[in-house]
């Protein structure tokens, strides 16, 4: 399935457009996956970084009270950090901090996928371009186009992390779980 999805994204003239269409179809099924381990297996085995990026963006858009209209960018990921909530369905009695932990894990995965789509090694850096023109871009050593929202600074990151910590502390109370702090440090 993962290979078929990856090929479906790649063969289109606009991988960005096809990944959006495929993500829109798959997303409702992801919301109904009852176990964290099953959701993580799906995201971790996804071959298409671009499709994973789109699915995770949909997940975070769905979990935000006020969805953003920002394009895929680092600024959008920071927006998700300070606005997401834990709305996924759970089959078992999962502690609230574990739900936050799962969403922070997905945010890290979104960041890594986004970096692979935009900034990574030569063959991956043009994933938004059609396969037919990708080799030309690589031969020309064309740099990937960054979004306006990719120009963030350390202060932006620090403020969003602090905002997220205060929001989680209000929900979780004390003591603040170590796993949550580790995930936030990793994101930083």
Please tell me the distance from the alpha carbon of residue 179 to that of residue 16, in angstroms, as a whole number. Answer: 34
Please tell me the distance from the alpha carbon of residue 28 to that of residue 32, in angstroms, as a whole number. Answer: 7
Query: What is the 8-class DSSP label of residue 145?
Result: P
pLDDT band at 125 (very low <50, low <70, confident <90, very high): very low
Query: What is the 8-class DSSP label of residue 64?
Result: B
What pTM value is reported for the model? Answer: 0.80
Asked if residues 65 and 85 have their Cβ atoms less than 8 Å apart, the reply is yes
As a whole number, the mean pLDDT across the chain is: 80
**Higher-pLDDT residue of 174, 169:** 169
Mean pLDDT of all residues in 27-33: 91
Mean pLDDT of all residues in 5-29: 82
Most confident of 91-100, 144-153, 167-176: 167-176
**Higher-pLDDT residue of 151, 108:** 108
Please tell me the distance from the alpha carbon of residue 176 to that of residue 97, in angstroms, as a whole number. Answer: 9
Mean pLDDT of all residues in 46-75: 90
Share of the chain above pLDDT 90, in %: 22
């Amino acid at each position: 399935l993962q290979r078929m999805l990856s090929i479906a994204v790649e063969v289109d003239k606009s991988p960005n457009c096809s990944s959006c269409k495929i993500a829109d179809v798959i997303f409702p099924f992801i919301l109904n996956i009852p176990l964290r381990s099953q959701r993580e297996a799906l995201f971790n085995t996804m071959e298409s970084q671009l499709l994973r990026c789109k699915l995770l963006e949909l997940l975070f858009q769905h979990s935000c009270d006020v969805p953003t209209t920002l394009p895929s960018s680092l600024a959008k990921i920071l927006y998700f950090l300070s606005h997401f909530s834990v709305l996924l369905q759970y089959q078992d009695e999962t502690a609230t901090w574990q739900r936050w932990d799962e969403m922070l894990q997905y945010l890290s995965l979104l960041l890594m996928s986004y970096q692979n789509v935009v900034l990574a090694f030569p063959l991956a850096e043009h994933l938004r371009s059609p396969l037919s023109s990708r080799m030309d871009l690589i031969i020309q050593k064309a740099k990937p186009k960054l979004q306006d929202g990719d120009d963030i600074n350390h202060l932006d990151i620090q403020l969003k992390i602090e905002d997220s910590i205060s929001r989680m502390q209000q929900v979780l109370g004390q003591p603040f779980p170590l796993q949550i702090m580790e995930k936030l440090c990793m994101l930083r």
